[in-house]
Amino acid sequence: MNNCSDWDWSAIDFTSDTYNAQLTDQQRKMWENPVQTSSTSNAFEISSPYLDNAYPFTRELYQSGNDYLICQDNQLSKIAHRDLRCPVRFLHGDEDDVIPYTKIYDAADALQSKHSGTDIAIKLIKGGDHRLSNADDISSLLDTLNEFL
Pair (24, 67) in one structural domain: yes
CB count within 10 Å of CB 16 equals: 19
Three-point CA angle 99, 4, 20, nearest 5°: 30
Pair (48, 99) in one structural domain: no
**pTM of the entire structure?**
0.71
What is the tens place of the pLDDT at every residue in 64-82?
887 778 877 665 566 655 6
Residue 4 in domain? no
Domain boundary among 35, 57, 82: 82
- Is the CB of residue 140 less than 8 Å from the CB of residue 125? yes
pLDDT tier at 41, thresholds 50, 70, 90: low
Pair (50, 101) in one structural domain: no
Residue 129's closest CA among 92, 104, 103?
A: 92
For 78, the domain range is 10-82
Q: Please tell me the predicted confidence (pLDDT) of residue 6.
A: 44
Residue 47 in domain? yes
What is the tens place of the pLDDT at every residue in 78-123?
665 567 778 999 999 999 988 888 888 988 888 888 888 889 999 9
Pair (58, 74) in one structural domain: yes
Residue 115 in domain? yes
Q: How many domains does the chain have?
A: 2
- Is the CB of residue 81 less than 8 Å from the CB of residue 69? no
Pair (36, 95) in one structural domain: no
